Structure 1
Amino acid sequence: MAQPNSQAPRPQTGNGQKRRREHPTDAKNGSHKRAKTDHRAKQRDARTLATQTSSKAFRNGELDVDKFVKSREYEIRALEEGMARSKKALTTRAFQHVPKELRRRTASHNVKRVPKRLQPRAKREMIEDNTPTVTARKRKPTRHMRLRLETAKQLRALGAQRKRSQETKSKPNGGKHISELPLAGSNAPSKGQTGLKTRTPKVKSATLASPPVAKAKFRKRQIHKTWLPTHMFHAKRARMTEPKEPLWRFAIPLTPTAKSYRPTHRAANDRGAVAWDTSYISTIGLEGQQRSVEGILKALGLGSELWEARGEKWRNGTRIWEGFALEREAPHRPIAPITVIWCVPESRPAELEKRPRKVFIRVHPSAFWLIWEELVRLAKVAKPQASVQDLRFEIGTIEITGPAATEALQAALWPISCEESPIANGGQSVESLWTALNSLTNPAMLPSDVLLGFEIQDPRLHHPPRKNKLPASERDQDQLLQILASWPFDAAQKAPAIFDRRTRLAASSSLPSQKAINRRRSLAPPGEYPAPCPKDPRIPTLLYHTSERNHSQSTYTLLLPWKCVQPVWYSLMYCPLSTGGQPRFGGLDEKRQLAFENQQPWFPADFPGTEPGWQWEIEERAKREDEWKGRPKSKRTNWESVNLGSGHKGEVGSGLACDWEKLMSLPRSDSISGEKAAHTSEITHLPSLQARNLLSAKANLKSHDNAQRTLATVRIKLLTRGVPETCARIYRLPSAKGSSQLRRRWLTLHPREQASKRRGPKNGLPTLPKDAPAHLVQRRLAQSLLKPPQVGDADYPVCPGEEDLIGFITTGNYNLGEGQGTGIGSLLLGKLLEDDGEDDKESNICIVRNSGNSAGRLAVWEVA
């Protein structure tokens, strides 16, 4: 018996039925293709204008004015309606008109996230398109979130009640504060007076500072690192270091989220300014009698010329000094570059030896422990002893560079009224002279290494800053040139208040809240800033100016209390510049970029001969190796198959590193632990001044004790095309004794050789006799027409052997400032000794080969 089938019958595959569903048929051509949706029909319909012919206005060759006017009226109304429809059917929305420099320029449905000038249009567009807009400021909590919020609210109330009860039980005299109780004796304050004033605690010498206590909701995020004062600003606008991988125990911004490589170059060199929060730079205070402080600084390797007449301004506190600090004990290896700032003495020169002097020493955080240990050891053996203070979290720093740097600082820093400041000789003060620099558009005109110390008002009272009107009269320009030429700041400078710890603490603790600032701003007349009050905080600052090589770029460095960095930073960032726009902010990558464009080495990456530089190199090796392993095998560089020419294959050393172990025949160290590598103490760095003196006379270079382990930082400039990369190999020219033919082939690529060929009537080739055979004449003609060999040609010279390797490129890229590829590298002095007896004109010529490539490029080097 057949059972009933509950399932529907399957479609037949014969001619009657088909298994697939047919596509809709195009009505025009009857095809089975799917009709395309016309997405521009709405725009085309909105932009199509209705017209009316004028034939009805003519009757028997005569013009009917009434009908003609009505037809034109119809067309005019159609034109107006079409303009209105076309305006509503635009292809761009309001959020698409936001400049790319602004944040949150995507298609957000929150009207408040577009500039104010576009908010009415965005709101109108969303209403017309029936787009749901965001009305609430915060996200509406879900049921689960609402329960958690209510529980947290109840727990906070219970905790506050328990805390109040505990304080009441622990306080004597009924819970009254000691300042509210009457004092025994005649010194009891009256009812209107305040209580006892406690003494400011003194800081013990050689005690490490603790990071500032963060707010409760941010405290867990700063267990293993410290936030900069402007962390909240940068965290929304920049790529930060990984939360679990801080850099030097700080959360440091690496680069802005927006594209900023070329804009940073233009802002720092052409128009604008670039600012950094460099509060991670460590500051150490040194205090003691002048002879003790001088003895400590001399033990750090400060040159003898600084203690003569040449360093008088530096010792008087009107100049700064930048250079390398050396170890106290032999062989006196360089530690790190430091900046030394003296405080202006407050007494006469005859009494300086008895009065205590104060000094600030600023050092990179990667070398803080090395400098700190040296200073503590030197301060203990000094007679009389000197005190060392850790000021890392008391003093913050802001750096700003660019043509508009002075203008931005003038708008952000409002000095305390000159009437309240001490007047110097001639009736001039530092505050009045600082305001006279408002017409300075080129900071490079300032004397190098000068510093200014003055007190400023709270920048929040003048926020947002206004555009500075640059004086354009000849009188103002003549006054500015006179100030720059005479520089009266040296005579007007008094002891900066930032050297006093009580002043720093008072400025930080007396900062009013933002709500109090807003109340004062609301009470001010329209268009005016709040009037200053006697209780306003006086923020001590110290500003000094430095110039790069050949005065190509100038940088201001502003020192101020740690908690005062954020208000000044916001005033700088939102300062309208006269050239348009606002100052840009930069991260660690932008700082390296501008140092590279100025052909200046950046610490610690370009100093592998120092301990912080070596540690940086080990960490970078691990990052490059992880990136290399993360690629598919087809995209990895096979280091063993690199063809170096002359039958040699395989990269010299590790292709992912500046392999100094290979160059110096040292055991490899790939460990990135905090401990020192076993051979780190064997490698040392030679400062630039000593390197120039040694390389100028090779006889002195031969007498160097540890030339086989000493590195010198150099600048590399390619003479031909090409771009050097990081970890590129640097070769010297092949020896004239061993490979004279290869040496000549490389020298023929020099631009001067090509210029000499073009200048001569016979292209610089040797002359032929008159009876030369025809084949030699044809060869000569071919040689005169041929260009020098290019990379990839069969006759292009091969790279020298491993015995001619002398160093590595630590930073290489295309230089926007030079318009060609340049690099910063280090050379081994021991390898330069082996090139003795060669021509001095060719002694600085080298060959650069990128890691993983077989072709080299001709270049020249000079000591950085």
Structure 2
Amino acid sequence: MESLATRAVPSQARKRKFYEASSAKPTRVPIDPKRRKRQDAREISAQTAESAFRDGQFDPVSFVNSREYEIRSLLRSMNSSKNAQRKRAFQSLPRELRRRTAAHNPNRAPKRVRETARKELTEDNTTAAPGSRQMATRGLGRTRSYIGSKSSRYRKRQRHKTWLPTHIWCAKRARMVLKWGFSLVETPNLKCYRPTYRAATQDACIAVDTSYYATILLVGRERDLKKSLAKFLPPLDFAVVGRSVVSGESVRSTWMYEEGGWPQKPLAPVQITWCPINSVDEMEEQELRNVVLRVHPASWDDAWKVAAASAAASGCVCKNLRFEVGSIELIGPRAADILRALLNPNIDLDGILVDGVKYSSARDPRLSSFHLRTTIPCPPSQENTTNQAESLFSANCRIASVKGQVSQKTLNSRISKSGSGGAAKSATVTRIPFVLMREILGVLGTQPSSGRPHSETLLSHRWSILLPWKWVRPFWLVLMRMPGVRLGGLKELEQLTLESGVGYFPTDFPSTSAGRVEALERTQAQLNRLERLSTMKTKPSGKKSESTLLIGSEAKGGYPWGEVLDAGRHLTCEEPVFWQLTPDSVRLFRKSPWSMLPTSISSGIFTAHIRVYGRGNIDSNAFVYTFSGEAARLVPRVLLQHARDGNPIDNVLETLDGENGQLNGNGHNSAPVYSLAGFVIRGNFGFRQARPVAIAALAWARTHESEPGVHQEDCFGGWCILQNKGSGIRRLAQWNAV
């Protein structure tokens, strides 16, 4: 191990080799390929005139031949330099506007570059692809009629799954995956990891069809509804006792438990919205209120059983609004402006605070295109909030709005008549009710730690709009034609939640029933991938069996938690029962004395966000080791010392090992320095932190007892070490509970 004196070298002395003074010949820096191409194109070859003047005599033939060569070289250089950096018309387009056949069919390119594409085909003597616009239109109309028909072949394709309203549009632009009984967008076909982060943080937004979320409606008296909610919510939850939530001014995101199962039996995150009291509604006379629950489909069966049982026991009515209410989610700084252009330019979105909710109605979004705004003068629509509190969750209002929906063909006919002097009043009569919510980024019910840095920008731009199921597709088609809107899927949601440091259900909560199923599916997918690789390439038999055993040990429960909590104990025949600590429970228990905690808290598991110091890759299922109390207090001092001396951050662990005088319990201390605390669920490079980040599942007993006194007032966290399986490289990191 290097000594501290050896490592304390000024940063100016640690330069690259070709900058150091040396007697050897300096290494030539390679030239950029584009620059080399431009230089080669501009080079002009020439010949000397010595051959034309021999023995004092002038040879005109040789002189003319030399000048002819130079003239031809000049013309060749002029032509090559002109086309050196030239791009085709379709290559000048952004990646999201490129099409596979745009190189041979100018009609598939945008209008602004269509003439340039035709000239390029003429110069290259390339035959343009024949147009089939009429046939494509007919086929599209036939496809739409098949979708609307109940006895069509598209209905047969949904026998074992359900298509979202935007499936036809998304299926040709993204990779689809079958999850939770739906055919969902996994990720767009284009490479979008870096553009997704830029759109969500800088000057655009990400649009995701979240109609797969289940909607449950509870109807009853306010007193009975509170009794029903109290049976599956935490004690004294704001959804029951919060004045702003009960009045309908804000939405509450919390966790749903089995009846009487708090805190050991969480089911899933749930979003609870109390519909405001409407003075003109008939329900006011009967003192009836509506409460809307939105649950992730991974826990739909359990959530529906618990909600229906609690409602029946409290004298309330429980209604299933799946496939009747859909939703679209927008994430990004331009989400509010895009919603204002989509719904109503006069709508007040600045007054909606975080966790706020707004009820209103809008007209057909297909009438808001640029062509219609410039050809059909219509008065500015005023925001209509009268009698809209119960409209979206009223069956009569939803059916009336759907019946008033006209086809695109009929709409085009009415528009043409209005442009020639006719009236298009019938096309603007229908009002579509909607509910607009502003929330924090992350899964419904998951709150970020209050002391986490670098999360303000991402957490302030998440909007959800609830619509009738049949109206999701028209709104989506208009939305995706707006500038600055990008398509997102499940992987994009995982990426943004990882950047923000919040949990993504059910992946990041492996001790719930839905999380165990998700962990088993991912483990099985990894096992199948290893089997395919083993058949494709010949590998040593030892590596094959090691990989198979590695996954096989986790296939039963997702992660080998017996190695964490049973380390140092005698294994029993009965497997220990592990349960999930929700973010709300973690914030509550960390401030409570040990005597007030549940007796089974030692087997609790919670989710944490990890930031790595230094470089490196974080693999799934990597080990997470926490420091003991004495070793954890040395980490800030050693980091400060390395920063002052200019030493690389990768040598911090070596310094810590030397300061502690032991590793893994070998030394003068009685307790071990490091202890296994959990496993990494998923990890990647975080653009906002400019370092690797990860989401891990940690054991409460290993973190709460190992680092006393290092937790801050507003944040529950500490220091840890990450080590990938099968690797001896260790990395220093910091964890914070989500």
Flag whether TM exceeds 0.5 (same fold). yes
Whole-Å separation in 2 of the counterparts to 1:823 and 1:562 = 36
The answer (yes or no) to whether the contact 2:352–2:358 under 8 Å persists in 1 is no
The answer (yes or no) to whether the contact 1:282–1:391 under 8 Å persists in 2 is yes
Aligned length: 616
Question: Are the structure 2 counterparts of residues 134 and 808 from structure 1 closer, same or farther at C-alpha, using a change threshold of 3 Å?
Answer: same
Q: Which has the larger radius of gyration?
A: 1
Whole-Å separation in 2 of the counterparts to 1:846 and 1:251 = 39
Whole-Å separation in 2 of the counterparts to 1:81 and 1:721 = 49
Question: Are the structure 2 counterparts of residues 790 and 829 from structure 1 closer, same or farther at C-alpha, using a change threshold of 3 Å?
Answer: closer
Q: Deviations over 1:238-263 (max 9, x none)?
A: 1111xxxx101111011111111111
Identify which of 591, 604, 609 aligns with 1:696.
591
Question: Are the structure 2 counterparts of residues 339 and 630 from structure 1 closer, same or farther at C-alpha, using a change threshold of 3 Å?
Answer: same
Question: Are the structure 2 counterparts of residues 544 and 837 from structure 1 closer, same or farther at C-alpha, using a change threshold of 3 Å?
Answer: closer
Shift of residue 718 of structure 1? 2.5
Whole-Å separation in 2 of the counterparts to 1:568 and 1:637 = 55
**Residue 57 (structure 1) aligns with:** none
Question: Are the structure 2 counterparts of residues 790 and 757 from structure 1 closer, same or farther at C-alpha, using a change threshold of 3 Å?
Answer: closer
Question: Are the structure 2 counterparts of residues 756 and 132 from structure 1 closer, same or farther at C-alpha, using a change threshold of 3 Å?
Answer: closer
1:619-698 equivalences in 2 (<5 Å): 619-631=521-533, 632=537, 634=539, 638=543, 654=553, 658-664=559-565, 682-697=577-592
Identify which of 331, 340, 351 aligns with 1:410.
340
Shift of residue 607 of structure 1? 0.5
The answer (yes or no) to whether the contact 1:95–1:105 under 8 Å persists in 2 is no
Shift of residue 313 of structure 1? 1.8
SS at 1:498 equivalent: coil
SS at 2:354 equivalent: coil
The answer (yes or no) to whether the contact 2:355–2:439 under 8 Å persists in 1 is yes
1:732-743 equivalences in 2 (<5 Å): 732-734=626-628, 743=631
**Residue 299 (structure 2) aligns with:** 367
Shift of residue 466 of structure 1? 9.4
Identify which of 328, 352, 359 aligns with 2:259.
328
The answer (yes or no) to whether the contact 1:105–1:114 under 8 Å persists in 2 is no
Identify which of 95, 110, 113 aligns with 2:105.
110
Whole-Å separation in 2 of the counterparts to 1:847 and 1:794 = 12
Shift of residue 634 of structure 1? 4.3
The answer (yes or no) to whether the contact 2:328–2:465 under 8 Å persists in 1 is yes
Whole-Å separation in 2 of the counterparts to 1:655 and 1:361 = 34
The one-letter code sitting in structure 2 at the alignment partner of 1:125 is E
The one-letter code sitting in structure 2 at the alignment partner of 1:250 is F
1:43-62 equivalences in 2 (<5 Å): none
The answer (yes or no) to whether the contact 1:698–1:833 under 8 Å persists in 2 is no
Residue 849 in structure 1 maps to residue 726 in structure 2: no
Question: Are the structure 2 counterparts of residues 327 and 274 from structure 1 closer, same or farther at C-alpha, using a change threshold of 3 Å?
Answer: same
The answer (yes or no) to whether the contact 1:844–1:860 under 8 Å persists in 2 is yes
Whole-Å separation in 2 of the counterparts to 1:599 and 1:412 = 30
The answer (yes or no) to whether the contact 2:619–2:680 under 8 Å persists in 1 is yes
**Residue 475 (structure 1) aligns with:** none
**Residue 519 (structure 2) aligns with:** 617
Whole-Å separation in 2 of the counterparts to 1:512 and 1:490 = 22
Question: Are the structure 2 counterparts of residues 682 and 353 from structure 1 closer, same or farther at C-alpha, using a change threshold of 3 Å?
Answer: farther
Q: Normalising by structure 1, what TM-score?
A: 0.63
Q: Deviations over 1:202-254 (max 9, x none)?
A: xxxxxxxxx9975613223222111111111111111111xxxx101111011
Query: Taking CA–CA contacts closer than 8 Å with sequence separation of 6 or more, which of the two structures ends up with the larger relative contact order?
Result: 2
**Residue 280 (structure 1) aligns with:** 212
The answer (yes or no) to whether the contact 1:318–1:493 under 8 Å persists in 2 is no
Identify which of 306, 320, 330 aligns with 1:390.
320
The one-letter code sitting in structure 1 at the alignment partner of 2:621 is C
Identify which of 432, 443, 458 aligns with 1:539.
432
Residue 342 in structure 1 maps to residue 274 in structure 2: yes
Question: Are the structure 2 counterparts of residues 640 and 284 from structure 1 closer, same or farther at C-alpha, using a change threshold of 3 Å?
Answer: same
**Residue 126 (structure 1) aligns with:** 121
Q: Deviations over 1:801-839 (max 9, x none)?
A: 899211111122211121112222121123346538787
**Residue 561 (structure 1) aligns with:** 468
Question: Are the structure 2 counterparts of residues 837 and 113 from structure 1 closer, same or farther at C-alpha, using a change threshold of 3 Å?
Answer: closer
Shift of residue 547 of structure 1? 2.6
Shift of residue 110 of structure 1? 2.2
The answer (yes or no) to whether the contact 2:239–2:245 under 8 Å persists in 1 is no
**Residue 239 (structure 1) aligns with:** 175
The answer (yes or no) to whether the contact 1:276–1:585 under 8 Å persists in 2 is yes
The one-letter code sitting in structure 1 at the alignment partner of 2:583 is S
**Residue 572 (structure 1) aligns with:** 479
Whole-Å separation in 1 of the counterparts to 2:505 and 2:116 = 50
The one-letter code sitting in structure 1 at the alignment partner of 2:626 is R
Whole-Å separation in 1 of the counterparts to 2:656 and 2:252 = 53
Shift of residue 843 of structure 1? 7.9
**Residue 189 (structure 1) aligns with:** none
Question: Are the structure 2 counterparts of residues 307 and 97 from structure 1 closer, same or farther at C-alpha, using a change threshold of 3 Å?
Answer: closer
The answer (yes or no) to whether the contact 1:717–1:860 under 8 Å persists in 2 is yes
**Residue 314 (structure 1) aligns with:** 245
The one-letter code sitting in structure 1 at the alignment partner of 2:169 is F
**Residue 359 (structure 2) aligns with:** 453
Shift of residue 562 of structure 1? 0.6
Shift of residue 364 of structure 1? 0.3
**Residue 7 (structure 1) aligns with:** none
The one-letter code sitting in structure 1 at the alignment partner of 2:214 is S
**Residue 583 (structure 1) aligns with:** 485
Whole-Å separation in 2 of the counterparts to 1:533 and 1:216 = 30
SS at 1:804 equivalent: strand
- The runs of 5 or more residues in structure 1 that have no matched partner are 1-39, 49-78, 142-148, 154-210, 416-431, 469-488, 577-581, 643-649, 667-677, 737-742, 764-783
Identify which of 434, 458, 463 aligns with 2:369.
463
Q: Deviations over 1:137-177 (max 9, x none)?
A: 17999xxxxxxx9xxx9xxxxxxxxxxxxxxxxxxxxxxxx
The answer (yes or no) to whether the contact 2:625–2:675 under 8 Å persists in 1 is yes
The answer (yes or no) to whether the contact 2:633–2:710 under 8 Å persists in 1 is no
The answer (yes or no) to whether the contact 1:799–1:855 under 8 Å persists in 2 is no
The one-letter code sitting in structure 2 at the alignment partner of 1:607 is F
Identify which of 598, 601, 616 aligns with 1:707.
601
**Residue 681 (structure 2) aligns with:** 810
Residue 789 in structure 1 maps to residue 658 in structure 2: no
SS at 1:304 equivalent: coil
Question: Are the structure 2 counterparts of residues 732 and 584 from structure 1 closer, same or farther at C-alpha, using a change threshold of 3 Å?
Answer: same
Whole-Å separation in 2 of the counterparts to 1:665 and 1:530 = 77
Question: Are the structure 2 counterparts of residues 838 and 537 from structure 1 closer, same or farther at C-alpha, using a change threshold of 3 Å?
Answer: closer
Identify which of 409, 413, 424 aligns with 1:515.
409
Shift of residue 130 of structure 1? 3.9
Whole-Å separation in 1 of the counterparts to 2:566 and 2:202 = 47
Whole-Å separation in 1 of the counterparts to 2:215 and 2:367 = 29
The answer (yes or no) to whether the contact 1:789–1:795 under 8 Å persists in 2 is no
Whole-Å separation in 2 of the counterparts to 1:687 and 1:529 = 60
Q: Deviations over 1:614-648 (max 9, x none)?
A: 11111111111222233335499949989xxxxxx
Whole-Å separation in 2 of the counterparts to 1:131 and 1:757 = 64
Question: Are the structure 2 counterparts of residues 824 and 235 from structure 1 closer, same or farther at C-alpha, using a change threshold of 3 Å?
Answer: same
The one-letter code sitting in structure 1 at the alignment partner of 2:637 is R
Whole-Å separation in 1 of the counterparts to 2:588 and 2:262 = 18
The answer (yes or no) to whether the contact 1:639–1:655 under 8 Å persists in 2 is no
Whole-Å separation in 1 of the counterparts to 2:148 and 2:319 = 16
Question: Are the structure 2 counterparts of residues 135 and 793 from structure 1 closer, same or farther at C-alpha, using a change threshold of 3 Å?
Answer: same
Compute the RMSD of aligned alpha carbons.
Answer: 4.5
Shift of residue 586 of structure 1? 0.4
- The runs of 5 or more residues in structure 2 that have no matched partner are 1-36, 46-73, 375-382, 442-447, 449-454, 568-572, 666-671
Question: Are the structure 2 counterparts of residues 758 and 810 from structure 1 closer, same or farther at C-alpha, using a change threshold of 3 Å?
Answer: closer
Whole-Å separation in 2 of the counterparts to 1:531 and 1:787 = 68
The answer (yes or no) to whether the contact 2:359–2:435 under 8 Å persists in 1 is yes
The answer (yes or no) to whether the contact 1:845–1:861 under 8 Å persists in 2 is yes
Q: Normalising by structure 2, what TM-score?
A: 0.73
Residue 598 in structure 1 maps to residue 510 in structure 2: no
Residue 731 in structure 1 maps to residue 630 in structure 2: no
**Residue 735 (structure 2) aligns with:** 861
Question: Are the structure 2 counterparts of residues 637 and 542 from structure 1 closer, same or farther at C-alpha, using a change threshold of 3 Å?
Answer: farther
